[in-house]
Amino acid sequence: MNNKIKELILDKLSWDSYIPLSPGDMLYEISPKGEINEEDFWRVLYKMEESYDVGLTKKGKITRPSDVGIFKGIFSASTRGDFGFVVTDKGDFFIPPKLTQGALNGDEVAIKKIEMSSKFYGKGNEAEVIKVTKRSLESYIGTFKVLVHNGNRSIGTVIPDNDKIKLSVTVSFKHFNGASDGDKVVCKINSFPVNEFSGAKGEILEVLGKADSQEANYKAVLVENGIVTEFSDDVLNEADKVASEPLSSDGRADLRNETIFTIDGEDAKDLDDAISVKETEHGYILGVHIADVSHYVREGSKIDTEAINRGTSVYFTDKVVPMLPKALSNGICSLNGGVDRYALSAIITLDKCGNIIYTELKNSIINSKVRGVYSELNDIIENKENSKFYKKYAHILDDFNIMLELYEVLRSKGERKGAMELESDESKIILDENGHPVEIIKRERGITERLIEQFMLCANEAVANYLYSASIPCVYRVHDEPDTEKISSFALFARNLGVDASPLNAKNKITPMQLSKILENAKKTDHFSIVSSVLLRSLMKARYSSVPKAHFGLATDFYCHFTSPIRRYPDLTVHRIVKALLAGKIDEKSLDRYEKFASLSAELSSENELKATYAEREIDDLYKCVYMADRIGEEYDAIICSVTSFGFFAKTENLCDGLVPIEALGQGFYFDKDNLILQRGKTTFRLGQNVRVKVMESDVRLRRVTFSLIAYEEIDAPKIDMSKAQKTSAPRKRDTVRKGKKRDYAKKSVKKALVKSLRKKKRR
């Protein structure tokens, strides 16, 4: 009932015609017949006022919080920790130092506008935190330090790994939980600071190991992102049971005699897609046969609950954390060569230009004719009959050649539509038998990888259009149109690199075709990789949604994920809905249930995707830091991949990133965020510039590599607009060496201090 009262009050406040009401009048408005207990109403109103869900006028009338200058939003802390920003639906606000009220990064806060003039942030967008309404942090990961050594009266603290968490937590001896000085730990916060000057109290939940060890930092990434590596016995037992069920062709299209086969990486164990193709008089028939995972992962089962909570398989350097138990992911659901498997087949009829004419979805049973490997088929494409793998694939090569032909058709179609082919360098980390990184190489993509990608794109688009046309719920993969300001900045950046960005000169709205043309122009220069990377950062992030919407990057009206149900829950969701449709189980009564299921799946899958992506990136960074820690003092050729006000990041030939800090460059640099350059006089550093660096430090705990600059490519750069440029704040060094000349800044500093002292005496 209390939630209902709150909803009624908020609904009343949302009316455009609403005028402030006294509490008595509000009670009458939401309960004209007196069905709401007055005491319950006052209790709810008190809590809503306390949490700033409502505001009160000077006369005590109920109004919107924004009407009295109060807003709610999420606090984003600076890395310095003494100030921050709050994003609200009424704009962004700067929170000056000493007015954060102990808010931490990610907290939900109530703020009140204040009148002050900030030379950094202008007028009218400053506020103070008046209350932290919801804490985002219950625990965090950091390094344990013992502050007072005195037996059972010892006191410690945990220094957060995240530099945005500026929190001083006191841990008493009884809450050490076996932690020793220098351990990486998980710390639970028992009480938060109430203001800028008070501390917090906590306890150690788990000891992960020594803070600078590879093992402890690996565990930390898993804990921080909620990555669970083991399955419960109940889930494993259920998986073993359903995996042992006998197969039958009853009620399924029997495609076991068709030439169907898989193509995957050499080390792949969860093979969830197989392909077939036929050439017709009018075009092609492409068969994309996907493991029928939903047959085994039944709605409401223990496996299903576990799968939706995980959302995706997570692929680390040394292992895979699967979404499903191995009895399914590597066993009965994997389309291994030479064995019968259940599939959900999309049979797509295409014309000679690659346009989708008709899509048929069917339950099937297949038998893969060969376990194809990318590298082996790429070798056949290059060496033909002379390839050492030619004999293995001889019986499917006629079909494979038709696939190559269809691949070119689909690729050309994508170019005509303006679908963007964004390239990002991926690294492959080689480990020794002890799990220590010994080599890092660039992962190459050949024609066969691109062929499979095109076929999967085609199937995903076909299924999305199939469900949309039938007015059936779906989990769509959507990609919103980019922010015009970000794309304008990207275009300026591309021009400064000498890339023709004229396709964006038109005043019409931004299209994928325009951006694709810029990428094509970038391929004519040496800067394609960096231009593609910056464009990727300028675009919106793709996400899942139950609401049909276009995919900007692929230039498609509707798109979904259908082809990987072993490792992605959105694909499994789409399969379950498709199978219900094929079985005639979707009617007016069940439609609402499937719509809610699609909405829930989309929301949870988007969240889990972000966690998995971050965890995969963090583990890669960890291994790269361990690798570079063995190479302190070594020099590398590198390219500048990011420029900031505190220095620039450079990527080495083996795809390891490191920071060249601003203090290593010296005083006097200005940062131009529009052009993404650091400049002092004629010395300029920008994206894509070649540099020579030396490895100075590799901090495994923070997963950061620090470089020093040895040499750099001299370039011309646009003149900085000083009204927009930000001066960097590198600390002055006593000795700076540049072009062989040593400058002693110590004398200048002493002289400056002496003059200052004499001026003070003169004023006295």
Joined together, the tokens standing for residue 307 give 């799968």
How many residues are recorded in the chain? 764
| Distance from C-alpha of 447 to C-alpha of 425, rounded to nearest angstrom | 16
Backbone angles phi and psi of 606, in degrees to 5:
-65, -40
* pLDDT (0 to 100) of residue 114: 85
Q: How confident is the model at residue 667 (pLDDT cuts 50, 70, 90)?
A: confident
Q: Regarding predicted confidence, which is higher, 715 or 243?
A: 243
Contact (Cβ atoms closer than 8 angstroms) between residue 283 and residue 351: yes
Contact (Cβ atoms closer than 8 angstroms) between residue 648 and residue 677: no
Joined together, the tokens standing for residue 561 give 């994920």
* pLDDT (0 to 100) of residue 504: 85
Does residue 449 have a pLDDT over 90?
yes
The predicted model gives 27-31 an average pLDDT of 90
Joined together, the tokens standing for residue 290 give 């996907």
* pLDDT (0 to 100) of residue 727: 62
Q: In sequence order, what are the beta bridge partners of 705?
A: 698
Contact (Cβ atoms closer than 8 angstroms) between residue 158 and residue 185: yes
* pLDDT per residue as tens digits for the range 311-328: 999 999 988 999 999 999
Q: In sequence order, what are the beta bridge partners of 556?
A: 551
* pLDDT per residue as tens digits for the range 37-59: 888 899 899 989 888 889 899 88
In the three-class reduction of DSSP (H, G, I as helix; E, B as strand; rest coil), residue 395 is classed as helix
What is the residue whose two structure tokens read 């996400």?
Answer: 543
Does residue 593 have a pLDDT over 60?
yes
The predicted model gives 106-120 an average pLDDT of 74
Is residue 524 packed enough to be buried (19+ CB in 10 Å), middle (13-18) or exposed (0-12)? Answer: exposed
* pLDDT per residue as tens digits for the range 132-152: 888 888 899 999 999 999 888
Does residue 752 have a pLDDT over 50?
no
* pLDDT (0 to 100) of residue 728: 66
Contact (Cβ atoms closer than 8 angstroms) between residue 393 and residue 372: yes
Contact (Cβ atoms closer than 8 angstroms) between residue 538 and residue 482: yes
* pLDDT per residue as tens digits for the range 224-283: 889 999 999 999 999 999 999 999 999 999 999 999 999 999 989 899 999 999 999 999
The predicted model gives 331-355 an average pLDDT of 97
| Distance from C-alpha of 417 to C-alpha of 516, rounded to nearest angstrom | 10
Give the C-alpha distances (Å, rounded to integers) separating 587 from 128, 360, 595, 600, 666: 53, 20, 12, 20, 70
For the chain, what is the mean pLDDT?
A: 88
In the three-class reduction of DSSP (H, G, I as helix; E, B as strand; rest coil), residue 52 is classed as coil
| Distance from C-alpha of 275 to C-alpha of 289, rounded to nearest angstrom | 6
Annotation: CATH topology of 631-731: OB fold (Dihydrolipoamide Acetyltransferase, E2P) (2.40.50)
* pLDDT (0 to 100) of residue 444: 86
Q: Regarding predicted confidence, which is higher, 728 or 87?
A: 87
| Distance from C-alpha of 163 to C-alpha of 105, rounded to nearest angstrom | 10
Does residue 744 have a pLDDT over 50?
no
* pLDDT (0 to 100) of residue 122: 45
What's the DSSP call for residue 443? Answer: P
Q: Regarding predicted confidence, which is higher, 281 or 729?
A: 281
* pLDDT per residue as tens digits for the range 677-693: 899 988 999 888 899 99
Does residue 372 have a pLDDT over 90?
yes
Q: Regarding predicted confidence, which is higher, 702 or 546?
A: 546
Q: Which CATH architecture has domain 2-66?
A: Orthogonal Bundle (1.10)
Q: How confident is the model at residue 507 (pLDDT cuts 50, 70, 90)?
A: low
* pLDDT (0 to 100) of residue 717: 61
Does residue 750 have a pLDDT over 90?
no
What is the residue whose two structure tokens read 């492409």?
Answer: 286
The predicted model gives 354-369 an average pLDDT of 97
Q: What is the CATH number of domain 69-134?
A: 2.40.50.140
The predicted model gives 345-355 an average pLDDT of 97
Backbone angles phi and psi of 129, in degrees to 5:
-75, 125
In our burial notation (b when 16+ CB lie closer than 10 A, e otherwise), range 88-107 reads beeeebbbbeebbbbbbbbb
Does residue 733 have a pLDDT over 60?
no
Share of the chain above pLDDT 70, in %: 91
* pLDDT (0 to 100) of residue 182: 95
Does residue 758 have a pLDDT over 70?
no
Contact (Cβ atoms closer than 8 angstroms) between residue 697 and residue 706: yes
Q: Regarding predicted confidence, which is higher, 380 or 39?
A: 380
Q: How confident is the model at residue 373 (pLDDT cuts 50, 70, 90)?
A: very high
Largest CA distance in the chain: 102
* pLDDT (0 to 100) of residue 313: 96
| Distance from C-alpha of 18 to C-alpha of 16, rounded to nearest angstrom | 6
The predicted model gives 595-611 an average pLDDT of 95
Q: How confident is the model at residue 119 (pLDDT cuts 50, 70, 90)?
A: very low
Going by CATH, does the domain composed of 139-211 fall within 2.40.50.700? Answer: yes
Strands 84-88 and 70-77: antiparallel
| Distance from C-alpha of 600 to C-alpha of 475, rounded to nearest angstrom | 9
| Distance from C-alpha of 262 to C-alpha of 284, rounded to nearest angstrom | 19
Residues 6+ apart with CB under 8 A from 131: 51, 52, 101, 109, 110
| Distance from C-alpha of 246 to C-alpha of 271, rounded to nearest angstrom | 20
**Neighbouring C-alpha atoms within 13 Å toward the C-beta of 662:** 22
Return the closest-CA partner of residue 659 out of 711, 599, 705: 705
Q: How confident is the model at residue 422 (pLDDT cuts 50, 70, 90)?
A: confident
